[in-house]
Structure 1
Amino acid sequence: MDFSVLGPVRASVDGRPVDVGVRKQRFVLAVLLLEVNKHVPADRLIELAWPEGEAPDTARTVIHTQISRLRATFAGSEDVALVREGSGYQLRVDPMRVDVFRFHALCAQARAATDECRIKLLEEALALWAGPALSSVASEEIRLRMAAPLEEARLGALEDRFEAYLRRGEEAGILPELAEAAAEHPLRQQLVAKLMLALHRLDRTPEALAAYQRLYRRLDEELGIEPAPAVRQLQVRILRDDPSLLPFTGPRQLPPEVDHYTGRHDHLDTLAGLFGLGDRVPAVVAITGKPGLGKTALAIRAAHGLASRFPDGQLFVDLHGAGPRPRDPAEVLARFLRDLGVAGADLPASLEERMGLFRDRTATRGILVVLDNAADEEQVRSLIPGNPECGVLITSRRRLTGLDLRGLIDLDGLADTDAFALLSGLAPRVRAEDEAAGEVVRLCGGLPLALRIVGAKLRSHPHQTVADLAARMTDERDRLDELVGGDREVRASFLLSYDGLTLAQQRAFRLLAAMPDTGFAAWAAAAALGEDLRTTQRVLDSLVDVNLLECGRGEFTATRYHFHDLIRLYAKEKLSPPEGAAVWSRLTDAYLYLGKRADAQLEFGGLHQFTPPPLAVDAPRLAEDVDRNAAAWLADEHTSIVQAVELSAAAGDDATTCRLSATVAAFLELRAQWRDLQRVAELSHIAATRMDSPYWTAYALFALGLAARETRDFATSARSFRAGLEILPRADDPLLEVVVLLSVGVSHRLQGRWDEAAAHFAGCLSRLDSLAAPRWRAYTLREYGVLHRYRGEWAKAKECLTEAIAAYHTLGDVRWEAASGRELGIVHQDEGDHAAAVEQLTASREALRNAGDDRREGAALRCLGWVALEAGNLAEALAYARQAREILDQARDPHGLACAEVLLGDVHLALGDSATGRAHLDRGVAYLDTSGDPRWRGKSVLSLGRHLAAAGDLPGARAAWEKAWADLSRIGAHEAATVRALLDG
């Protein structure tokens, strides 16, 4: 059902009129339509119907009667509902079914449209009017009061339509209608002013002045006021025959958009929103970013989309800001003024006068100014109009932080999907699933300029395959040579930025390219440059400001810096070999000194023996800060140190390779980064072998064995440990020998070789009696206690674990005190002391969470879940098990995750949800079956047997328990007794 209030109040269905009753009923309907989908109190209806307080006692009854009749009218309609709501009523209908809401929507669309579209939209809106609004619903007095806002909106739309015609210079076509409207509303000054302008443009100036005089007299006689200042000023300009009153055909200088434009949809939406905000100042928005990102292409595309909002024209200029000779603002203003109709002879001489005239010429016009490739704030400041109807869009390689910007878009590389789309659009034979195409996209680093060059090459050279191009680009030495096409070259784009740097900035740009490409902190840059920290920070910030460096976040330092890959390659081209060697020497010295200090603060660090070079970095309190927060420093720097190990190994610097590897090994073990540990250990082993160093060879073999053991590669672990033990007597490091023996013992325990593990632990404790190494003694006691727990030797387990906890408490090591406490909590539960187990495990879990040890917190949660399951608290058990699974998954601990899956299987079985439980269990069993850990393999198969038994598969259950018995009884695990009972039951 459709409704009309812009004229007689009417309703219709598919164009057929619907009877909406008598006058009073139509009045009630009109009020509800104007407040559609809103609560309208009955008192409001009464007040409007009887405005002078003349409502009869029966008024409420009258209103209710009209409502009832309207309900009956709408009863058969699916899209209209009239409902009682509290003390009033609500008419529920799609607002676009009511002509007044369609009118307002069209007017809103018109305000954001070009003049041509605006005229069409406003004419469509005004065509909705079929006479005076709300006619035939009440007395004229009531109608006029209710319809006044609607009439004002109609006149506003009419004036906007006349204004659009006048901007287009089409006054002749609207003059009769405009004169009629002005005569109908003789006190409406905007209509009269538009009539004056139209008459003047049509060489009927005397009539324009006569219209002004009529307005003046009527305002004076009827209201005792003068015309508004703008209207009086218009009369003066007409008398002077001001040429600016003639239709303005503004400049349209936007360059064409680039072909195959891809992506940046969010940025385009952001730009549209920034220029759509009403304000008392012109919108000034900047797009910044490194060379080759497509800043100009984005600005031009956005400007074309914004052109309709600036009907008086668009100015565009390339300011050459990245080149050696940026354009003079005075020269640019001279061009702008000529484009705006100022004769050359009338151009002022000074910058200040030109700026004033430019702002005068744009004071009444909505113009978009696009300033491409700006050098700095000073260059663009004088090119910004003062009129809030204008807008300024700037692109620059600098961040322009000195400007008062409404918005700043810091452009980054294209996302992979957009990069593929751009490349395949330029070269249709490229397919996203092609591995070589993916490599090309990656090597272009998201730079549209690089992708366009590559796409054009592939399109114009059909004989060249994508794989060939990818292979050539893979070599860093040739990559920039491949990114050349015609007059477009990535290297040339970077050169413009480089040439614009000061000598100090150019030196820093070159030298920083010698650093590992994993990012660097300001202190590391200071080491590389051989400068103090304050000077270094200033030059780093200046390179960020011109988008030759990028910023990220770190744990130890708030800001870390890095190059875009292609910019780094360009910087390396500028770097001389002597400069690179000097940087590398200064940087590795700093890494060795600080790395050794940081490693010494870690729980199991400080093993290696070497004297580092002194710290030559002028960075106050750096060493002390590293001591206080060593783990955070290593979290920031370990990837750089790993790459430094690789670069040292490639350069044949064997001593540095071994020493750098040692500084990061304990941290990699702490964070369970086994692949990196294996990598640096392999390189260190090669270097140590070349040096014929027993000490560094033994240390590297220990690290290799540790990495292999933790990834459950027990064969490799055994070979590495065995080789290390053979050479250790010549390494002359008793503590390292103990640590290797201890690691071998843990490896034996994980593989179920518990007698051998016990012998190693006992031997370590004996050796530690003569060494001042309390932390390693505590760790050995913990591992020995775990072994006793596995065997069901509760008293011995409690003795070892209690001593370990006390030692860690004395050392102030919260993490390992809590980790040992978790083991003691399991012992309490196995002994049947549920309360003590819950208390101990809860405390351990809290301490591990506070210490940030996700992996061991997940293990503690899993143990709490097991304890709750044992006690029959199934809801609690499920919650703990789910938390454990989530944390262990995020911590990337596959073994711990598999154990959590087994627990979830047991909990769901106890809850009666065997299907869900079996799915969890199967995932755990699949991993543990190949893990090489017979104890957990046996425990998981024990749970599998329970599931099979619950499902009625008794033969399958017995087979599973026999497999569990074989594993658990062979190694002497206390869980074997449970399996035996099941088999014998």
Structure 2
Amino acid sequence: MDKQPGGLPDPGSADDLAEFIGLLGELRAWAGSPSYRSLAQRVGPLMRPPRTVSPFTVVDAFKTERRRLDLDLVVAIVRALGADEPTVGRWRETCIKVHSLAKTGGPVGVFRQLPSDLATFTGRREELSRLIAAAKQHRDADHPNTVVISAIEGMAGVGKTQLAIHIAHELVRAGHFADIQLHVNLRGFDPELPPADPSAVLEAFLRQLGVPAQQIPASQDERAGMYRDRLRDRNALILLDNAADEEQVRDLFPASPSCLVLVTSRRSLAGIEGADLCRLDVFTSDEAIAMLARIVGPDRVEAERPIAEQIVQACGHVPLAISIAAARLRSRPAWKLADLARLLRGGVGALAFGGRALTPVFDLSYLGLPKPARRLFRLCGWHPGDDFTADSAAAAAGCAVEEAEQLLELLLDEHLLQQRESGRYEFHDLVRAYARGLAEPEQSALARVATWYVLTAQDANHLLEQPPIEAEIEQTYGVESLSLTTYEEALAWFDIEYGNLRAVIDTAAEHKLYALVWRLAASLHSLRGLRYRMTEYTRFVELGLDSARIAGDPLGEAWMLHGLARASRDEERLEETESYLLQIIELCRLNQAPAMMWRQTVALNNLSVVYNILRRYDDAVASLEEALRICPEDRRTRMECSMVSNIAAAHFYRGDHAKAVEFFRHAQALYQQAGDRRGVVASWGDIGLSSLRLADHDGAFEAFTTYLKGAREIDSLVFQGLAHLGLGDTLADTNRIGEARAAWKEAESILAGIGHRNAEVARERLATGRVEPYTVS
């Protein structure tokens, strides 16, 4: 349609009543799409004489299937939409003209029912290309036998309607479906009116197809049959916008293969058999910037490009949100883009302007949900992680996993959730913000989620052969952990959920769930050994230590001090390590519970390692003797493994590497008997280093090769990096420098990737070619 200066639609371009009504709708869009209710309130005082006007009366004036309009009502609507008096006069004249043409048999245009194509339509090249190609290919086929149905679905505000309208216009402009174009807004999600009755839609379509009112059947089935008959062999395009569900549109499909149906809905339309489904996502960054520039002007956007990117990011790349934000900016010529960016920091509620807002659009989807789905939607909005599974969602809601899965699938069908990986659900940022705005977080729901993570992490650590936390968590919620059965499943769970675990720890601390905070931090101990991640591990352990002390929990305090001791030991800050271990020992001496006795035993054993490195051998022996004296009977097997390994380390640091190899092999046998795969693998690294110091290159090469194989089997990146480092040293000692450099390069890549301190050792090897000794684990 033609436009006047300033973007106003030109009523003079209308050839018939339907086009005039379409332009009236475009005028409403130009004015910011005020709701029919608010427009009715404005129109009433402008009528002659003034009177109360029903919203339904105003709605009827925008229906393109109408045969006549009330001239006074049209004039009042145009005035209420903000047009000046000369413009009002042009609308009055055109309204009289199109009514006259209709009475005298002039161009009626009953088949040209498409809404106007927006001048601001942007992007969607891939979707346009695919859907248009599907329509054309079908029409060019030699023997088409079914009607083409393209269903466009997606979240609220993502631009489904505008894409469908643009596709329809592109096809018609190219000469396809030139006979008939029918359009209806099915009001599947209308704030003021119920969904359109398919029978009433069929009646309107039949009237537009020239069927006299008295000949239209009464029943929906008969109307559908007549509709299909009238469209037989006609080149027709039917646009069914905003469908509530598949049932609403089923009888509106013609049967002729010469027809095309475009359906849009914010609900899944997968139930339409044979339909070409197009799930519309938000804009790409480039598309979002292009739309902003098209509305507010490219010069304005390019002048503040970084701020423009912040704006579209705040809008979540959602077309409707960008349109609302851009309309506000366009109306404020004195504003800089930074002014709008500051406004948008107010969240989803700030996306409102000129009668349009994002929150009411989301309301329509949310309020249509059954009550259990609404509750789960709100609770999942406060889930600490970036995504979640049915199991963790069930923990949040306190319901069965099967029920949570059904509700999550419903939310997925309603496009209130997204799914990028099978079994995992996530929010679009704006939808998450909307969900959180519906209610404050429930403390009990957060506690249930954190408990689920603690219990599952404990089970995973057991499968990873890590020592359990001695004190069971107080189970007041009836939460069940995820069922994990193998080492590989446990490590994969930690890898997938690591980001969520971090978020859960921070959220639990924020909400003072202290007993859960330190247990969550303790659960990451196995990842420290397998994936390193030392900086984050230390932060979480410090957070856990604060929580344990606030809660007055000595066992939690001992566990967290142990974590800090291990972290400082890995970074070779031995004085700190000694201090942490001595604090544990003193704490345990004041609390003689069985669990604390074991913590004291572990601390004394680890203290002996520190003393060996510091060459305080008498202190090391004394610590081992005391550890053995107080070790609980049910833990002696595990402690014996560790003690023998520490004795081996003592020989290593004293320079008796032959004895070190002997005791490391003895420790390895004990680890094997105890079923501790990690201990067995770690021992190969220690045997390799000791053998290398003895210049036993064959023994070192065999040990490091076995170390690497075992590290891969247990999927330890730390051990893999150290094994490559040891292999490189062994190869360099035997003058195989090319192979050594390849091994060092691999070591540097792995160790740098996890932030391990020995990445620098590998870099020095690559730079100098010299082998400098480093210590056993």
Q: TM-score range by the shorter chain?
A: 0.7 to 0.9
Q: Deviation per CA, 1:287-337, whole angstroms, max 9, x where unpaired?
A: 222212222223333333333243334333222112362212222223333
Does structure 1 residue 817 correspond to structure 2 residue 686? no
Letter in 2 for 1:256: S
Which residue matches 2:718? Answer: 855
Cα distance in 2 for partners of 1:758, 1:408 equals 75
Max radius of gyration: which structure?
1
Which of these residues, 130, 144, 165, is aligned with residue 270 of structure 1?
A: 130
Moved more, 294-303 or 787-796: 787-796
Cα pair 2:202 2:227 within 8 Å, conserved: yes
Q: Deviation per CA, 1:314-368, whole angstroms, max 9, x where unpaired?
A: 3332221123622122222233333334343433332222222332333323333
Letter in 2 for 1:647: T
Which residue matches 1:495? Answer: 363
Q: Deviation per CA, 1:653-688, whole angstroms, max 9, x where unpaired?
A: 433433443344444554323343233323323333
Which residue matches 1:525? Answer: 393
Cα pair 1:322 1:496 within 8 Å, conserved: yes
Which residue matches 2:315? Answer: 444
Which residue matches 1:643? Answer: 503
Structure 1 segment 905-924 matched on structure 2, within 5 A: 905=766, 921=767
Cα distance in 1 for partners of 2:312, 2:625 equals 57
Structure 1 segment 817-836 matched on structure 2, within 5 A: 817-836=680-699
Cα displacement (A) at 1:725: 5.5
Instruction: Specify whether residues 290 and 802 from structure 1 end up closer, same or farther in structure 2 by C-alpha distance, changes over 3 A only.
Output: same
Which residue matches 1:387? Answer: 256
Structure 1 segment 536-555 matched on structure 2, within 5 A: 536-553=404-421
Which residue matches 2:73? Answer: none
Which of these residues, 789, 802, 806, is aligned with residue 665 of structure 2?
A: 802
Cα displacement (A) at 1:374: 1.5
Does structure 1 residue 604 correspond to structure 2 residue 442? no
Cα pair 2:641 2:667 within 8 Å, conserved: yes
Q: Deviation per CA, 1:48-101, whole angstroms, max 9, x where unpaired?
A: xxxxxxxxxxxxxxxxxxxxxxxxxxxxxxxxxxxxxxxxxxxxxxxxxxxxxx
Q: Deviation per CA, 1:393-421, whole angstroms, max 9, x where unpaired?
A: 22212222212245322232333343344
Between 1 and 2, higher relative CO (CA 8 Å, sep ≥ 6) is seen in 2
Moved more, 374-383 or 560-569: 560-569
Q: Deviation per CA, 1:223-245, whole angstroms, max 9, x where unpaired?
A: xxxxxxxxxxxxxxxxxxxxxxx
Which of these residues, 634, 651, 656, is aligned with residue 793 of structure 1?
A: 656
Cα displacement (A) at 1:705: 4.4
Which of these residues, 590, 599, 604, is aligned with residue 730 of structure 1?
A: 590
Which residue matches 1:155? Answer: none
Cα distance in 1 for partners of 2:743, 2:293 equals 49
Cα displacement (A) at 1:482: 0.8
Cα displacement (A) at 1:559: 0.8
Cα distance in 1 for partners of 2:390, 2:316 equals 24
Does structure 1 residue 342 correspond to structure 2 residue 201? no
Cα displacement (A) at 1:565: 2.5
Cα distance in 2 for partners of 1:696, 1:902 equals 40
Which of these residues, 659, 665, 673, is aligned with residue 533 of structure 2?
A: 673
Instruction: Specify whether residues 819 and 688 from structure 1 end up closer, same or farther in structure 2 by C-alpha distance, changes over 3 A only.
Output: closer
Cα displacement (A) at 1:437: 4.9
Cα distance in 1 for partners of 2:304, 2:751 equals 33
Cα distance in 2 for partners of 1:716, 1:941 equals 33
Cα distance in 2 for partners of 1:755, 1:792 equals 11
Cα distance in 2 for partners of 1:727, 1:433 equals 59
Which of these residues, 482, 500, 504, is aligned with residue 350 of structure 2?
A: 482
Cα displacement (A) at 1:738: 4.4
Cα displacement (A) at 1:448: 1.9
Which residue matches 2:237? Answer: 368
Where structure 1 has 5 or more consecutive residues not aligned to the other structure, the ranges are: 1-246, 906-920, 922-939, 944-963, 975-985
What is the number of equivalent residue pairs in this alignment? Answer: 653
Letter in 1 for 2:412: V
Q: Deviation per CA, 1:865-915, whole angstroms, max 9, x where unpaired?
A: 4434444455644554554455445x4345344444445x3xxxxxxxxxx
Cα pair 1:289 1:295 within 8 Å, conserved: yes
Where structure 2 has 5 or more consecutive residues not aligned to the other structure, the ranges are: 1-106, 139-143
- Please give the secondary structure, in 2, of the residue aligned with 1:369: strand
Cα distance in 2 for partners of 1:811, 1:534 equals 38
Cα displacement (A) at 1:755: 1.6
Cα pair 2:188 2:265 within 8 Å, conserved: yes
Instruction: Specify whether residues 480 and 249 from structure 1 end up closer, same or farther in structure 2 by C-alpha distance, changes over 3 A only.
Output: closer
Does structure 1 residue 296 correspond to structure 2 residue 161? yes
Q: Deviation per CA, 1:811-838, whole angstroms, max 9, x where unpaired?
A: 3333442232133234444444444444
Q: Deviation per CA, 1:532-563, whole angstroms, max 9, x where unpaired?
A: 2222222221111111122344xxxx512222
Cα pair 2:112 2:181 within 8 Å, conserved: yes
Letter in 2 for 1:357: M
Cα displacement (A) at 1:497: 0.4
Which of these residues, 294, 317, 340, is aligned with residue 184 of structure 2?
A: 317
Which residue matches 2:146? Answer: 281
Instruction: Specify whether residues 513 and 352 from structure 1 end up closer, same or farther in structure 2 by C-alpha distance, changes over 3 A only.
Output: same
Cα pair 1:285 1:405 within 8 Å, conserved: no
Letter in 1 for 2:664: L
- Please give the secondary structure, in 2, of the residue aligned with 1:895: coil
Cα distance in 1 for partners of 2:178, 2:471 equals 75
- Please give the secondary structure, in 2, of the residue aligned with 1:374: coil
Cα distance in 2 for partners of 1:611, 1:839 equals 44
Cα distance in 2 for partners of 1:473, 1:722 equals 52
Instruction: Specify whether residues 250 and 521 from structure 1 end up closer, same or farther in structure 2 by C-alpha distance, changes over 3 A only.
Output: same
Cα distance in 2 for partners of 1:614, 1:626 equals 28
Structure 1 segment 189-208 matched on structure 2, within 5 A: none
Letter in 1 for 2:429: D
Cα distance in 1 for partners of 2:453, 2:239 equals 48
Cα displacement (A) at 1:461: 3.3
Which residue matches 2:223? Answer: 354
Cα distance in 1 for partners of 2:579, 2:322 equals 49
Which residue matches 2:328? Answer: 457
Which residue matches 2:543? Answer: 683
Cα distance in 2 for partners of 1:266, 1:608 equals 57
Identity of aligned residues (%): 32
Cα distance in 1 for partners of 2:294, 2:609 equals 57
Instruction: Specify whether residues 745 and 348 from structure 1 end up closer, same or farther in structure 2 by C-alpha distance, changes over 3 A only.
Output: farther
Which residue matches 2:32? Answer: none
Cα distance in 1 for partners of 2:688, 2:222 equals 84
Which of these residues, 850, 855, 864, is aligned with residue 727 of structure 2?
A: 864
- Please give the secondary structure, in 1, of the residue aligned with 2:239: strand
Q: Deviation per CA, 1:842-870, whole angstroms, max 9, x where unpaired?
A: 33322322322233223323433443444
Cα displacement (A) at 1:606: 1.4
- Please give the secondary structure, in 2, of the residue aligned with 1:393: strand
Moved more, 877-886 or 650-659: 877-886
Cα distance in 1 for partners of 2:300, 2:487 equals 56
Cα displacement (A) at 1:689: 3.2
Structure 1 segment 893-932 matched on structure 2, within 5 A: 893-903=755-765, 905=766, 921=767
Cα pair 2:188 2:242 within 8 Å, conserved: yes
Structure 1 segment 624-639 matched on structure 2, within 5 A: 629-639=489-499
Which residue matches 2:556? Answer: 696
Instruction: Specify whether residues 517 and 883 from structure 1 end up closer, same or farther in structure 2 by C-alpha distance, changes over 3 A only.
Output: closer
Cα pair 2:304 2:337 within 8 Å, conserved: no
RMSD: 3.8
- Please give the secondary structure, in 2, of the residue aligned with 1:408: strand
Q: Deviation per CA, 1:478-501, whole angstroms, max 9, x where unpaired?
A: 412211112221111111101211
Cα distance in 2 for partners of 1:256, 1:668 equals 60
Which residue matches 1:583? Answer: 445
Does structure 1 residue 652 correspond to structure 2 residue 512? yes
Cα distance in 2 for partners of 1:747, 1:640 equals 34
Cα displacement (A) at 1:722: 6.2
Cα distance in 2 for partners of 1:260, 1:292 equals 15
Cα pair 2:584 2:599 within 8 Å, conserved: no
